[in-house]
Amino acid sequence: MRVDRYVLGVTGQIETRFLSSTSFTYSDPTTPFPSPSVSGESRHVWFSYVNEVKTHIYDVEVAVSQGGSSIPFPGGDVLEDSPSQLGQRILRQTYLRDTNGTLIEARDFGDIVDGDEGILTRFSDAPGSAQVTCSNRWICAPGYTAISALVSGGESLQAEYQFTFAAGTSDVTEVQGDLLAVWGLNRANPAGGDYSAGPPTMAGAAGSLSPTTSTAPRAS
């Protein structure tokens, strides 16, 4: 699937100007919520999820050219790629879900052209776990999140968060975060103005954060 944003032109007067074009790539069909093997069982649910999003950002003052095209399989429809433009910016994200349809990994590569440092976010039950367990009420809440930088040759863990939930719900009662890299602290202006840097004693220090029992977002 592809979604284009553009300013419609006027025939013979003003050319159509492209703002952005976002393409969504879907996974091969999978069977989520696998049921126990039962004799005579014939129910199957197939599901495809978005596993890649690629967004082209254009300069409205520069013309675009038609992108390429492909046929994904014999007899299928022709897929047209996003328009191309000299100097365009291309943002790319990929996603991985488990057999329950729960997101367990997200990769944000940023601007491919400029070579941004990518960010990898993993969701699981606990450190070292590669899954998110669902309750008997199909509450699939990850208790652990790890954020890494995608660097040359691998990953570099930057921060991790552990969540405590109210029994039988997905309501967060406690969040504990560990910053494993030197990060700055931005604090919101209550008056609604611009963000401002935190005090020097609070910004730039790596280490463990104290847990909080509030469900409100933390300044971190």
Q: What is the pLDDT of residues 91-122, one digit of tens each?
A: 999 999 988 889 999 999 988 777 788 999 99
C-alpha 176: how far from chain center: 22
Q: Shortest CA distance to 108 belongs to which of 96, 125, 91?
A: 91
- The whole-number pLDDT of residue 36 equals 57
Mention every residue, 6+ apart, whose C-beta is less than 8 A from residue 60: 7, 17, 18, 19
Q: Shortest CA distance to 99 belongs to which of 126, 131, 125?
A: 131
8 Å CB contact between 192 and 209 = no
Question: What is the spatial distance between Cα 192 and Cα 138, in angstroms, rounded to a whole number?
Answer: 38
For the chain, give the number of residues: 220
* CA distances (Å), origin 46, targets 24, 43, 95, 162: 19, 10, 18, 32
| Regions of the chain short of the pLDDT cut 70 | 13, 32-44, 182-220
- The whole-number pLDDT of residue 130 equals 85
Partner residues linked to 56 by β-bridges: 21, 90
Helix (H) or strand (E) holding 122: strand 118-124
Question: What is the spatial distance between Cα 2 and Cα 171, in angstroms, rounded to a whole number?
Answer: 35
> Which three-class secondary structure string do you get for 201-219?
CCCCCCEECCCECCCCCCC
User: What are the domain boundaries of the chain?
Assistant: 1-35+45-94, 117-220
Q: What is the DSSP letter of 27?
A: P
Cα dihedral angle (186, 144, 106, 96), rounded to 10 degrees?
-170
8 Å CB contact between 141 and 164 = no
- The whole-number pLDDT of residue 184 equals 63
Which tokens hold the place of 124? 């699981």
Question: What is the spatial distance between Cα 77 and Cα 72, in angstroms, rounded to a whole number?
Answer: 8
